[in-house]
């Protein structure tokens, strides 16, 4: 299976170059298990699906240090049929689809409750797309139930769900949505925007 994310970082500051280049350093601990490619539009990270959201969390936390208003935009995918299998994407732990939907929701809640706090408050909005045949609407409704119990649910919006809280639980919630819902070997995509230090938090 192939899993990865295309990430773009938007710091709202005159020193945006320094902020971006400094934030990319936060990905260094992930280099042993990731393939990381940066160009003039985005950074691609390819690797174990469980590490994608911790890496994005660390990137945004680093960029937002000092109160800079920063937005992270990402497209995250696993199981894309257009990408070749890559051993680097092998999950580091057991499957998260070995239980019923109700049990998966409960396990996801526990994982979020145990997430480390970063001290950075963020707002996020995302859309989850479990693609392919099967009971994808059951998976979407199950994910929505989980989000409402996650502790960081803000509200439903047109075409997306909004989360708010410490970056640790917020990114843990996003990770659980991505990993536990949708067919285990199917194609799942997630579209994401996360904002930190916004002057218009509402």
Tens of pLDDT, residue by residue over 175-185, are 999 999 887 77
Which residues are bridge partners to 157 per DSSP? 160
**pTM for this predicted structure:** 0.93
Q: Which of 88, 112, 81 is nearest to 178 (CA)?
A: 112
Neighbour-count burial for 137-159, b at 16+ CB within 10 Å, e otherwise: eebbebbbebbeebbbbeeeeee
- Strand segments (E) across the chain: 3-11, 35-38, 43-46, 70-78, 121-130, 153-157, 160-166, 188-196
Per-10-residue mean pLDDT of the chain, 202 residues long, equals 92 93 92 91 92 97 94 94 73 70 92 96 95 76 94 95 98 95 85 94 58
What are the chain's domains? 3-196 (3.30.70.930)
pLDDT, residue 118, reads: 97
How far is residue 49's CA from residue 26's CA, in Å, rounded to a whole number? 18
Q: Give bridge partners of residue 195 from the DSSP assignment.
A: 71, 123
Structure confidence by residue, pLDDT tens digits, 89-98: 777 666 666 7
């Amino acid at each position: 299976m192939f899993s990865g994310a295309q990430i773009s970082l938007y710091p709202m500051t005159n020193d945006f170059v320094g902020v971006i280049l400094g934030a990319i350093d936060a990905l260094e601990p992930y280099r042993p298990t990731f393939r990381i490619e940066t160009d003039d539009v985005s950074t691609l990270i390819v690797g174990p699906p469980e590490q994608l959201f911790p890496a994005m969390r660390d990137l945004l936390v680093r960029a937002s240090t000092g109160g800079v208003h920063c937005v992270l935009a990402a497209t995250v995918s696993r199981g894309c049929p257009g990408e070749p299998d890559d051993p680097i994407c092998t999950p580091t732990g057991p499957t998260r689809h070995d239980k019923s939907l109700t049990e998966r929701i409960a396990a996801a809640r526990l994982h979020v409750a145990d997430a480390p706090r970063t001290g950075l408050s963020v707002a996020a909005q995302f859309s989850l797309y479990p693609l392919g045949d099967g009971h994808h609407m059951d998976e979407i409704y199950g994910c929505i139930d989980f989000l409402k119990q996650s502790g960081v649910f803000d509200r439903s919006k047109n075409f997306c769900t909004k989360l708010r809280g410490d970056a640790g639980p917020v990114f843990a919630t996003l990770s659980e949505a991505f990993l536990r819902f949708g067919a285990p070997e199917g194609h799942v995509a997630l579209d994401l925007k996360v904002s930190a230090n916004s002057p218009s938090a509402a």
